[in-house]
Chain A
């Protein structure tokens, strides 16, 4: 073939070029494209995972923040309840204490009154006794001093008139 000769086509060289190119394709595919594409894919996945993880982390953080708020609110409520309860309890106890104190006080007062009364009565009794003695004494004295006939007569007269 004249054309092939003119173009410098030689069967041996064609075969050699074919083998050459085939080897190039195979080697590049096996040792370069495959690992590089796999590497790129792995990296893409890694980045994707990283982005997903960061998104997840953000949502988790938001959730946690919300929970935190809820917990704080609940804690505040509980604390308020506790304080109120404590206040109520304290008030109740205070009132109870006051009542008790009042009761005791009134009891004490009653007892004291009774005591006082009794003492009064006893005092009166004693005073009566004393007084009668005194009166007797005084009367005796008066009688001892001025009991004469005149007076005796007067007293009798008075007593008769009455």
Chain B
């Protein structure tokens, strides 16, 4: 019995030259699952809600009122809500699906040794990076839309004074740092949880991993929330034109 920990997701199989990794595979499954549930509920809204409809209603209503409380009511909230809410729901479900018992024991062997079919989706840095890029690029787009392209560039390249130039550079670094901090926060937490769980399971399979699993559960919810809220806050900051 050996413990294999890899930073990168494992490739399950190829479609043509496209490598399907286990995280990609699961992210597709989660996407389909979410689309099915939400579209099913969204297209068949009843005045007397079912339990599922009730749950989703509460989730969306609370999320929307939270978005409104951060960014203010009106068009802005309606524009940014879909992105932020989807990030939250997607990350949350991705993180929670790890706790389906038994899934991490399933593996397949496609010639290159056994490969675990399942891996926590957010422990794929590529996916986290993409979501972070979407968040940060959205932030930049909002900033440009609010203050205009010249003012936006002027914020980073300020030649009026040495101090201003320096601060502009710092702003530029800050924007890049957003990508790194946002992505590695989520990836690091989930990956660490994954590794910790695996190690604990390897060392003492009974009862000992339980507290760590509870901790992981907490991390799963908190990180989903933090990721979505940080995106929301970045966008909301960018949307407030500097007066």
Contact = CB atoms under 8 A, between A and B. Distances in A.
Nearest to B126: A9
A9 B129 CA distance: 9
B126 A35 contact: no
A3 to B, nearest CB: 10
25 contacts: A7-B126, A8-B7, A9-B129, A12-B19, A13-B21, A14-B129, A17-B24, A17-B27, A17-B126, A21-B130, A25-B82, A28-B38, A28-B39, A28-B82, A28-B89, A29-B86, A31-B35, A31-B42, A32-B41, A32-B56, A34-B42, A35-B43, A36-B56, A37-B81, A40-B61
B134 interface: yes
B31 interface: yes
B232 to A, nearest CB: 14
B45 to A, nearest CB: 5
B21 A36 contact: no
Nearest to A9: B126
Contacts of A6: 7-8
Interface in B26-41: 27-28, 31, 34-35, 38-39, 41
A27 interface: yes
A48 to B, nearest CB: 15
Contacts of A21: 31, 86, 90, 127, 130-131, 134
A149 interface: no
B175 interface: no
Contacts of B39: 27-28, 31-32
B198 interface: no
A16 B14 CA distance: 14
Interface in A85-138: none
Given A7-B8, A23-B31, A33 B18 contact: no
Contact of A20 (B7, B8, B31, B83): B31
Contacts of B186: none
B7 A40 contact: no
Contact of B130 (A5, A12, A18, A36): A18
A10 interface: yes
Nearest to B9: A8
B130 A14 contact: yes
